[in-house]
A and B are shown apart, each in its own frame.
Chain A
Amino acid sequence: MTRAAFTAALAAALALALAFLVLPVVAIFADTSPGRLVSSLDNPVAADALWLSVRTTLTALAVMVVVGTPAAYLLATRRFPGRALAVTALELPLVLPPAVAGIGLLAAFGPRGILGEALASAGVRLPLTTTAVVLALCFVASPFYVRQAQAAFAALDPSLVEASRTLGASEARTFARVAVPVCLPGLAAGTGLAFGRALGEFGATLMFAGSLQGVSQTLPLAIYASFATDFPAALAMSALLVVVSGALLAALRIGGARWAGPTGAVRLGDDARAARAQTAQPA
């Protein structure tokens, strides 16, 4: 096979992939003018759904970052029995169908679930609430963050950590003032991926949190509900999600390139700079 023919075959494959993946997105906008996009926010269903999506996604992200960052640091920096199992268990939701996630959340936190009695006696009823939405988002999206954070911490130059200790920083301080700032690009990328997944979550939310305007009807659920009754509104809300997700992806790409740049645009605190200076010195 000649080189030209091979190139042509590659180009054909790329063209096919591009056409298939781009066409539905373009089609959404073909029927939705920018004016229509803005006016869709006057629709209370869309406005409530957008606001709820933003609120629940940001809350879920905060939980993921606060719990996930130290957990990922432990997995990346220590060896202990059962570590591989823990890593696999944390990643499992990545490959679970959302319907399975929904059933699992009900079986765990529903009134008949494993923790149902304990929650009921504490006066807590989770299903069909905004909290249930946040839990569903955490379940499906946190593996994206933890995985990325773990990879970032694993790639951390061990001599940096060593230097920080030599300079007298405690392990906790090394984590907070050296590891996290140096790994910030990776952590940010993980946050972005988790944000994207959480914003698009549908199945687990519908099953565990139900669908109620202002309470549990996030943007994807509102799109589904409007599909049958108001197709143009569903299109406008879809366009809105494409814009938000596309902006996120672009920010990730641009931000990632900037962080990874050789000039080291990463602004580090004093501790991290000192550790870096220390490692740069000849032993």
Chain B
Amino acid sequence: MRRLAAAVALCAALASGCGGSSSAGGPDRIDVAAAASLSDPVTAYARQFGRDHDVEVRVRFGGSDELAAQIRQGVPADVFLSADAVLPAELARAGLLDRPEPFASNRLAIAADPAGPVRSLPDLARPGVVVALGSDGVPVGKYARHAIARLPQPQRVALLRNVKSSEPDVKGVLAKVVSGAADAGIVYVTDARAARAEVHTVALPRSLQPAIRYDAGVAVGASPAGLARRFVEGLRSGAGAHYLRAAGFGPVP
């Protein structure tokens, strides 16, 4: 019986440990939900921010649409960093996010298998080429489809026919190219750059580039709200901005 009592006590301890207030982090922790494309610079920035402010910064990465859906379902996050302006604006309208602000910009590029057949944009539309894109819900997939929509119709149709996977986020697209499952994919230049040892980067012409703006929002009821706001501030003009530039992200458009 004593063992059983111990087990019950342990369960209770676990439950109380996991049970949270409505805010995500608590007094000495901020939870950040960030677009997958931000993984390198935001991981580095979060580490430095945590050291500088003596606070634990927990970052989870994923497709922006997936993270937004989690926030809508009540999964707590103090800060939301999205690869677009649409999702944060929707959350703000729903009363979940406080006045989102832009903090970075990005561009698209083709990431191609170095051993594969893709060396230029027209190659993507050649018969038999295997292309991976983001799904049409995730920003990187929406942007890629915007770019493709600006191609002349025959090329556009041929390219879309070559799309063999719609990935949940940009890292999924990159993984398909790196593993050789796809010959090429449309990703952010920052991701192609981070994986430059494994993929060949083909620039997309300026005429096809959609406007890519990253917005940040602090959750309504974030705790500690001051620190969460400072975290976002640092992305706009502090250490975070420095990491973002170093990774190839552009300034706020």
Contacts and interface: CB of A to CB of B under 8 A. Distances in A.
Nearest to B175: A207
B160 to A, nearest CB: 11
Interface in A193-231: 206-208, 210-213, 215-217, 224-225, 227-229, 231
B138 interface: yes
A6 B5 CA distance: 12
A109 B48 CA distance: 42
Interface in B148-171: 163-168
Given A228-B137, A231-B72, A9 B4 contact: yes
Contacts, number: 78
B179 interface: yes
B179 A227 contact: no
Interface in B40-59: none
A210 B136 CA distance: 14
A128 B129 CA distance: 12
A128 B135 CA distance: 14
A228 B73 contact: no
Nearest to B176: A210
A112 B179 contact: yes
Nearest to B65: A228
A106 B181 contact: yes
Contacts of A127: 176, 179-182
Interface string B26-68: 0000000000000000000000000000000000000101101
Given A127-B179, A212-B164, 19 more contacts: A6-B1, A9-B1, A110-B181, A111-B180, A111-B181, A112-B179, A116-B180, A128-B164, A210-B132, A210-B166, A210-B181, A211-B166, A211-B167, A212-B163, A224-B168, A225-B135, A228-B68, A228-B137, A229-B137
Interface of B: 1, 4, 63, 65-66, 68-69, 72-73, 115, 130, 132, 135-138, 163-168, 172, 175-176, 179-182
